[in-house]
Amino acid sequence: MDYISDFFGFMKKATTAVQTVDAIRRRLDAEGFIELNMTEPWMLDSMGKYYLAPYPSMLVGFTIGSNQYLTKGVKMIAAHTDNPGFRVKPNPETDSEGLVTLNVERYGGPILNTWFDRPLSIAGRIAVKSDKVLKPKVIHLDFERPILIIPNLAIHMNREANKGVELKVQKEMQPLLSQLIEDEIKDNYLLDLVAKEAGGSREDILDMDLNVYCCEEGMLVGAREEFISCPRIDDLSMVYAAMEALIGSKHKDGINMVAFMDNEEIGSTTRQGADSMMLSTILERILMVTPGIEKEFTSQMMDFFVISADGAHGFHPNYSEKNDITNKPVMNKGITIKISGNRSYASEVETIAAFQQLCDRAGVKYQKFTNHSDQPGGKTLGPLLSKYLPVHVVDVGVPMLAMHSTRELMGKQDFLDSIKIFKIFFQLEE
């Protein structure tokens, strides 16, 4: 399989967290996975393939081993579906000299200046009227074409631009949507566009949850095409790798699982985020109805192993001083194990050693990352997963550059190796 081309195709559809889950659902449906519903009883069988999406931006998929009695626990890969960017506010239209811009707010921590002069689009969800007051109809929507742009200010009017200028989202980052003609007015301009795109009436739309995204496509770059440049690499590269590993792996014992959570970029403290009880609730229910699995949930914990997969900071040749002096992962030289003394990553000596042995089994290289001692780093899903599930967790990821930029960069070999390692992980029989 040509994973690179397929990944670029996946990324064209995985534009926001909601659309990412939709893209995963289509892939799993095509591979014969059965969708489960939290409100209905489950009947699970050996060799079964299942998934559920309790919320529109969260998905859990799993496969059950072929043995009649499953004597092993769970192997899980966790990643997140959201990305830094901008969310469209209610009543967003503003008009200046007939130019319509949208009022947006920051989501997470994007590198603001990378959003200038890019072809941008909008995707997300809209809620429309229904017969049930407490259950409006929800429609997923993606314009799938560039309808926005955030133009830079000419350097002649901003002579200090190359010396570093502070950017304010409320002023400089409002995207240009259209130019009014004749007797057009700005009010409800976006609402009318959304209604037309959804094939409905403006009057039926009750609310909108829409995000701005970069609609540029991924590509290979470098003299030997050794790098991947693409929007949303963090963390959809790991989402894709985990999804493909789950689909492409067969096993006899236990349960293989992927957990794709939302809102990591803003702290995960939502019902669909890692800092909630939803994942542990789903796990408990799976174990309760799976043949041959111990009925007592807590007795299974020691047989769980979780790979928390998220982007890692690679060595930047122009900013070598930003890395730790002895642990600086380089792109295309191995997937990265992330380690933190203050436990912002969940990796521990046993899980680090286990992942090293996994890499050796897969025949791929690995590296280790720690933050510069005077430079605090970010957090990931690992510590939150271990907060609710007392299981073995290791934090890993592909080393990348330009993290949280509109376009990010990773090594092609690291990406392919991550798929290989995740497949070996799911196929282990020990």
Q: CATH number for the domain including 15?
A: 3.40.630.10
pLDDT at 298 over 80: no
359/277 same-domain check: yes
Asked, for residue 224, whether it belongs to a domain, the answer is no
Range of the domain at 58: 3-83+231-427
189 or 68: whose pLDDT is higher?
Answer: 189
Q: Provide the number of structural domains found in the chain.
A: 2
pLDDT of residue 353: 98
pLDDT at 293 over 90: no
167/262 same-domain check: no
Asked, for residue 154, whether it belongs to a domain, the answer is yes
- The first and second tokens of residue 355, run together, are 């992942």
The tens digit of pLDDT for each residue in 124-171 reads 999 999 999 999 999 999 999 999 999 999 999 999 889 888 999 999
Asked, for residue 219, whether it belongs to a domain, the answer is no
Q: Are 308 and 340 in contact (CB under 8 A)?
A: no
Asked, for residue 220, whether it belongs to a domain, the answer is no
Q: Which residues pair with 368 in a beta bridge?
A: 337
pLDDT at 291 over 80: no
Q: Identify the helix (H) or strand (E) that includes residue 53.
A: strand 49-55
Among 150, 184, 214, where does a domain finish? 214
Q: Which residues pair with 164 in a beta bridge?
A: none
243/209 same-domain check: no
Asked, for residue 132, whether it belongs to a domain, the answer is yes
The arithmetic mean of pLDDT across residues 248-274, rounded, is 93
Picking from 300, 387, 394, the residue whose alpha carbon sits closest to that of residue 349 is 394
Q: Are 116 and 176 in contact (CB under 8 A)?
A: no
The tens digit of pLDDT for each residue in 396-430 reads 999 999 999 999 999 999 999 999 999 999 999 87
The C-alpha atoms of residue 411 and residue 367 are separated, in whole angstroms, by 13
Asked, for residue 400, whether it belongs to a domain, the answer is yes
Q: CATH number for the domain including 90?
A: 2.30.250.10
The arithmetic mean of pLDDT across residues 303-323, rounded, is 94
72/203 same-domain check: no
45/176 same-domain check: no
Q: Which of the 8 DSSP states describes residue 175?
A: P
Q: Which of the 8 DSSP states describes residue 265?
A: G
pLDDT of residue 272: 96
Q: Are 101 and 176 in contact (CB under 8 A)?
A: yes
The arithmetic mean of pLDDT across residues 275-302, rounded, is 76
pLDDT at 295 over 60: no
Query: What pTM does this model have?
Result: 0.96
Asked, for residue 73, whether it belongs to a domain, the answer is yes
Q: Are 142 and 121 in contact (CB under 8 A)?
A: yes
Among 186, 214, 242, where does a domain finish? 214
354 HSE (CA, 13 A, CB side): 19
96/10 same-domain check: no
Picking from 190, 176, 177, 107, the residue whose alpha carbon sits closest to that of residue 141 is 190
The C-alpha atoms of residue 113 and residue 272 are separated, in whole angstroms, by 30
Kindly provide the b/e burial profile for residues 69-87, where b requires at least 16 CB atoms within 10 angstroms of the residue's own CB.
ebebbbbbbbbbbbbbbbb
Among 214, 244, 262, where does a domain finish? 214
Chain-wide mean pLDDT for the chain? 94
The C-alpha atoms of residue 34 and residue 350 are separated, in whole angstroms, by 35
297/366 same-domain check: yes
Q: Which of the 8 DSSP states describes residue 148?
A: B
pLDDT at 72 over 90: no
The C-alpha atoms of residue 311 and residue 373 are separated, in whole angstroms, by 20
259/196 same-domain check: no
Cα 67 to its chain centre, rounded Å, is: 33
243/133 same-domain check: no
pLDDT of residue 297: 53
356/399 same-domain check: yes
Counting other chains too, the contacts that 373-381 makes at CB distance below 8 Å and 24 or more residues apart are: 373/324, 375/322, 377/313, 377/340, 377/344, 378/344, 379/344, 379/345, 380/264, 380/308, 380/310, 380/338, 380/344, 380/345, 380/346, 381/78, 381/79, 381/80, 381/261, 381/264, 381/268, 381/274, 381/308, 381/310
The amino acid at residue 77 is: I
Quickly tell me which residue has 């009880």 as its tokens. 277
59/79 same-domain check: yes
Asked, for residue 226, whether it belongs to a domain, the answer is no
319/406 same-domain check: yes
